[in-house]
Structure 1
Amino acid sequence: MTQSVIVLLLLGASLVALLLVAFARREARAEREAARAEASMLREDAQARMAEAKRREEHSLQREKEVASDHRHAQQYARALEERAAVVARDEKRLVVERARIEEDRTAALAAAARTTPEEARAALTAQLIDKARADSEGALRVIEKRTRATAEDRAREILVEVMQRQASPSSAEHATSWIDLPSEEMKGRIIGREGRNIRAFESLTGVNVIVEEGVNAVQLSSFDTERREIAEVTLAALVEDGRIQPQRVEAAYARAVAGAFQRHRAAGLDALSAAGVSGVPTEIVDVLGRLRLRTSYGQNVLAHLVETSQIAADIATLIGADVEIARRGALLHDLGKAFTHEQQGTHAALGARFAAEHGEEPRVVNAIAAHHDEVAPDSLEAVIVQIADAVSASRPGARREDLDAYVNRMANLERIVLEHHGVTRALAMAAGREVRVIVEPDEVDDAGTQALARTIAEHISKDFTFPGEIKVTVIRELRADAVAG
């Protein structure tokens, strides 16, 4: 019994041992499988990490190459910039030198053209800037005056009324006729001469009609041209004073009257300066001013208009506190250019301003002349005063008449048409345009040609000139031969 139990126990123990061994093997096999799976996972993870590391390494290498390439490009660009900067610096230095040379050449050219030095030019510019600053300040003053326009307009009316009350100028007295007083009725016969030869010689020479009326101890000179009429008046006065009248003496007196016109111009200019109260005017301007004594504008004598305008401008400048002498001088010279309008191109304001500037008048006076018809802007208060004074003198009742200027222009156009013909030396419109006397060159027009020329001129007038009634064309051909016995 005991041995059976022991055997059974040994068998049981053996079975238990076998079971334990089988269980241990199964556990070991499971652990090996788990270890193998874990190792496979670790191996795959390691491979993935190695692939990522390799990829990053390749990316890093590619980036390093790109950075190296960018660095090379940056270095090349930097070198190019340095080279460009060097070129720009070199060009800048060259341009600075060239600019300095051009400035020197321009300064020298301007100095040569202006006949002045840079220092003088700076002084002139400084004076100009001072004048401009003064003009700007005057502009500001005008703005202030606009803000108080009601009061200013009332004050302006008071000033103009007071100035006009101080003037006692007559109405326009410019006509197309002049009267010459005679010492006796017997002098009329001498003027007419035997068979009218004296009066014919006088009229042909002067281009002025002589009208002799009964019962009047005077003769009348008629012509639209004030210069012709004035010379004829001086000529006839000299003949009447002498008492001996014949064609040869008429020619001699006419020659003296023409030669003395310059002195009469100068005397008239000096008288105008004295009446206007202006001094220090150059002789050249005085002579031109005197020539205006025979010029009219709408029937108003230009020289008398200048004197009147100068007096008005001086009164206005006194009342408002402006420069009286500049206003007076600018007003006296404002129509100076009317002496040149029939000789040169341009408006009388521009011509007068240029002539005054050429003869040393100061800029404010020159601007007052140029600006009196608003062709340029006035630079000073005195220029505006000249505009006002000119308007006051021209617009006052009786100052001007438009019909006389229209008549003068009509006569001048008639003479111009006649002078266009070959051989004509002088054309004289007479008898209020009802007759034209044509003086021809005897070497160019013969006796037979005078008739043909008269018909041609008459046809030309009928075609191109509008006129009422009839116009008589008289062609005069006179051949003279002189000899001196010695």
Structure 2
Amino acid sequence: MNDTLIYILIALLAGGAGYFIGRSLLSKLRKEEEEKAKEKADLLLKEAKIKAESIKSSRILEAKEKYLKLKSNFDEEVNRKKSQISTNENKLKQREQTLNKQLEQSKRKNAELDGIKEKLANQQEAVNKKKTELDKALLQHVAELEKIANMTAEQAKESLVETLKDEARTKASSMIKEIIEEAKLTATKQAKKVVIETIQRTATEHAIENCVSIFNIESDDIKGKIIGREGRNIRALEAATGVEIIVDDTPEAIIISGFDPVRREIARLSLHRLVTDGRIHPARIEEVVSKTRKNIEEEIVEIGERTVIDLGIHGLHPELIKMVGRMRFRSSYGQNLLQHSREVAKLCSTMAAELGLNAKLAKRAGLLHDIGKVWPEEPELPHAILGMELAKKYKEHPDVCNAIGAHHDEIEMTTMISPVIQACDAISGSRPGARREVMDSYIKRLKELEELALGFDGVNKCYAIQAGRELRVMVDAESVSDQKAGALSFEISQKIEKDMQYPGQIKVTVIREMRSVSYAK
């Protein structure tokens, strides 16, 4: 028991001694660290002061340099202004001297004029005296003549006037004949001069519309995707757009064939979107074609607005602007209709200005003269009369309406700009290479072919492809059965043989697609 107590006491004493020793050591270490920290802080403070002094001196030097530079610039500016002021003062002094000289000269002239006025007044008095004397002498002379001739002065005047009238009439009639003959000789020359100057001032490029568009692809591997399994993708695309898509050995290119430029453009843009997206299947094709068709409608409006702005025509009705945009996708005898109308508008403006007519109205009528060709419906009226009716409907100027209706002599010309429109239309169409009759007759035949098939019951869509050698007819599955589809293709072929003239043979394909749609809710 005593041993344990002793051990405990020893342990306690050892612990206390260790505690005090450790504490004294820690305090020493802290003091050493504080001294080191103070030394470091003093060093840093000294370094900072040295840096601050160097920065301060460099900044002071920079400020002095800037001050000297600004002062030199200011001195230069002051000297320049002083020299300018001195030159202006010299100019003012010179001007004052010249004005003083002019004032002295004007005073001298006024004095001279006063002298001349006095002389004139004296001369006027002398003239008046002589005039009164002459009047008296003339009266005496007339009285003596009346006695000699047994006629009064009034009777003599009347006889003299009658003789002068007869002479004037004969001279005037001969002069009128000469003027008419000269006008006949020079009218044709002047008209040719105006037309040639107008043509020379309006230069337009010509590009014949064709029936083929080229769609370029990066690699030939994409052709397989476009064709699809057993050709289902290409068939769906042709059915949705109404064009023929030719995928052959041509490297990195697909040919889109069709007579309607709008259909070709829709097919080209749809192909571009499908290839870019990578998802090509019938459902996706129909969706993309539908969106592209809407985008083309918006683009038509944009083209019309851009054309009107370029030509500087204001206040045109939105429907007429839309028709102007449609001209971009139509052709007349192979010539692009919008390009033709823009050219006619420029020619009309130039020719009307040369003839002293209203150039703005002439330009407006020139742009709108063929809007009857782009009306979506197919009326029986000629395009000039239809265009005139549309212009009247949308409240165009009467002169513009008459010019549109009379540019093919369907109605009588009642304004001066109507023959200008007719002449400019002929100029634009008669340029070398501007038009091609075969192209227009070919497109007209394909349109007639489609319209003939659309006249049958149950036909929804109809597309002429392969340059008119094949007619694809889409029918309504509910109203046309399979048996009736076969009969319908025969009836259409018989109707084509009976009513149309065409080279070779035309293949009539009736497509009946049955779709059953339901929705899971």
Q: Normalised by the shorter chain, which TM-score bucket?
A: 0.5 to 0.7
Partner of 2:276: 241
Structure 2 distance, partners of 1:339, 1:307, is 15
CA contact (8 A) 1:341 1:347 kept: no
1:453 aligns with 2:459: no
Which range moves more in the overlay, 444-453 or 247-256?
444-453
Structure 1 distance, partners of 2:234, 2:376, is 33
1:158-199 per-residue CA deviation (whole Å, 9 max, x = no partner) reads: 222222223332234211111222233222222112222111
- After superposition, the Cα gap between the structure-2 partners of 1:197 and 1:308, relative to the gap in structure 1 and judged at 3 Å, is same
Shift of 1:423: 2.4
SS of the residue corresponding to residue 513 of structure 2 reads: coil
| TM-score, normalised via structure 1 length | 0.66
Correspondence for 1:326 among 357, 361, 381: 361
| Structure 2 alignment gaps of length 5 or more | 1-178
1:231 aligns with 2:250: no
SS of the residue corresponding to residue 272 of structure 2 reads: helix
- After superposition, the Cα gap between the structure-2 partners of 1:465 and 1:347, relative to the gap in structure 1 and judged at 3 Å, is closer
Structure 2 distance, partners of 1:362, 1:420, is 38
Alignment of 1:42-191 (within 5 A): 148-191=183-226
Partner of 1:279: 314
CA contact (8 A) 2:388 2:404 kept: yes
Structure 1 distance, partners of 2:181, 2:437, is 35
Partner of 1:258: 293
Alignment of 1:336-415 (within 5 A): 336-340=371-375, 342-415=377-450
SS of the residue corresponding to residue 279 of structure 1 reads: coil
Structure 1 distance, partners of 2:386, 2:435, is 23
Partner of 1:94: none
1:48-102 per-residue CA deviation (whole Å, 9 max, x = no partner) reads: xxxxxxxxxxxxxxxxxxxxxxxxxxxxxxxxxxxxxxxxxxxxxxxxxxxxxxx
Structure 2 distance, partners of 1:173, 1:356, is 28
CA contact (8 A) 1:145 1:152 kept: no
1:312 aligns with 2:347: yes
**Structure with bigger gyration radius:** 1
CA contact (8 A) 2:207 2:434 kept: yes
Number of corresponding residues: 343
Partner of 2:337: 302
Structure 1 distance, partners of 2:366, 2:496, is 41
1:284-326 per-residue CA deviation (whole Å, 9 max, x = no partner) reads: 2111221222222111121111100001111112223221111
Provide the aligned C-alpha RMSD in A. Answer: 2.1
- After superposition, the Cα gap between the structure-2 partners of 1:157 and 1:473, relative to the gap in structure 1 and judged at 3 Å, is same
1:239-274 per-residue CA deviation (whole Å, 9 max, x = no partner) reads: 233232211111001111222232122112112213
- After superposition, the Cα gap between the structure-2 partners of 1:428 and 1:151, relative to the gap in structure 1 and judged at 3 Å, is same
| TM-score, normalised via structure 2 length | 0.62
Structure 1 distance, partners of 2:189, 2:223, is 59
Shift of 1:221: 1.0
Letter aligned with residue 304 of structure 2: G
Correspondence for 2:507 among 460, 465, 472: 472
SS of the residue corresponding to residue 437 of structure 1 reads: strand
Structure 2 distance, partners of 1:220, 1:168, is 32
Letter aligned with residue 186 of structure 1: D
Structure 1 distance, partners of 2:180, 2:277, is 64
| Structure 1 alignment gaps of length 5 or more | 1-143
The percentage of counterpart residues that share the same residue type is: 41
- After superposition, the Cα gap between the structure-2 partners of 1:322 and 1:425, relative to the gap in structure 1 and judged at 3 Å, is same
SS of the residue corresponding to residue 254 of structure 2 reads: strand
CA contact (8 A) 1:163 1:315 kept: yes
Which range moves more in the overlay, 232-241 or 330-339?
232-241
Partner of 1:211: 246
| Structure 1 runs (4+) greater than 4 angstroms displaced | 144-147
SS of the residue corresponding to residue 148 of structure 1 reads: helix
- After superposition, the Cα gap between the structure-2 partners of 1:453 and 1:365, relative to the gap in structure 1 and judged at 3 Å, is closer
Shift of 1:407: 0.9
- After superposition, the Cα gap between the structure-2 partners of 1:450 and 1:316, relative to the gap in structure 1 and judged at 3 Å, is same
1:199-218 per-residue CA deviation (whole Å, 9 max, x = no partner) reads: 11111221100112324322
